[in-house]
Amino acid sequence: MRVPNLKRYAWLSIAAAVATIALKTVAYLLTGSVGLLSDAVESIVNLVGAVMALSMLTVASRPADEDHSYGHSKAEYFSSGVEGTLILIAALAIAVAAADRLLAPQPLEQIGAGLAVSMAASAINLAVAIVLLRVGRQHHSITLEANAQHLLTDVWTSAGVLVGVVAVVATGWLRLDPLVALLVAANIVWTGTRIVRRSILGLMDTALPAAELAAVKAALDSHLSDGIEYHALRTRQSGARRFVSVHVLVPGGWTVHRGHELLEDIEARMRAAVPNVTAFTHLESLDDPASWDDQLLDRHDAASARARLQD
């Protein structure tokens, strides 16, 4: 499998974060809006997340070696996990600043100029997020997807802040600004929690999604009419890679060559149906009772369970 170079997209994210930090800081200094301050704080988190993404994409792109025979693709989960955590920290910082301004509201200044600058920053984030999300999904990169989701959260944050500032201007109620900032913080918590959860599931070797698992089973089921069976089907994800292992049982009279050709066909069907899949197939005889003792993760457990059933 040819691994695409995704690091240039991390550099794009870094450039966008630097630009938006500068623009949103200017917007905050112009207006004094705590909502715009929350926007700037989140952009700092975007920068840290983008740098982390670059680091982990660099690690993930390394080929398999003696110490990491399955490759380094799992490094992407560390990046998305850290970014999700940073998002939650940013939400806390926003909430603290908003609570302080809620207790002591202050008038906003130079609103028009501040909002114009903030909207320019949001346009940059939106454009970069769309690119990262498309590339991340195309190449199954959880790092780029998490970074894109973070930037989209930033866009929604800016939209919320815009609504808050406009509402303050329309009503004269200064507390609307920090109230909107608190709503923004709640939205960020939701996004950060989703990203962290997905990272944890990846590190826990979660099985393939239902659609991909169905495609794997279809490749196996296509041979069931030939008197062939299978068991011990296990799948897991590791960043962009997918791993599948399965035991295929054939009649004991088959030659090694015939069994090998069958496994080659099954693996080819899996690779055609599921992107970036590495398949491990094990050939067993239908006529050997020992073939049924390895259906569970630990073989002795399966043998013990079979013995109890016979008793």
CATH 3.40.250.10 fits 210-310, yes or no: no
**Tens-place pLDDT, residues 12-59:** 989 988 888 888 788 777 777 666 676 677 677 778 888 888 888 888
**Tens-place pLDDT, residues 191-225:** 788 888 878 877 777 888 899 999 999 999 988 87
**CA angle, residues 142, 133, 88, in degrees to nearest 5:** 60
| Domain range summary for the chain, segments of one domain joined by + | 7-203, 210-310
Mean pLDDT by 10 residues, the chain (311 residues): 69 89 80 69 78 83 80 79 79 77 66 71 88 87 82 76 74 76 80 82 83 92 85 86 92 92 93 90 90 76 56 56
What fold, for 7-203?
Alpha-lytic protease prodomain-like (1.20.1510)
Instruction: Say if 7-203 and 210-310 have the same CATH topology.
Output: no
Model pTM?
0.64
Q: Who contacts 178 (Cβ-Cβ below 8 Å, separation ≥6)? A: 34, 35, 97, 98, 99, 101, 102, 105
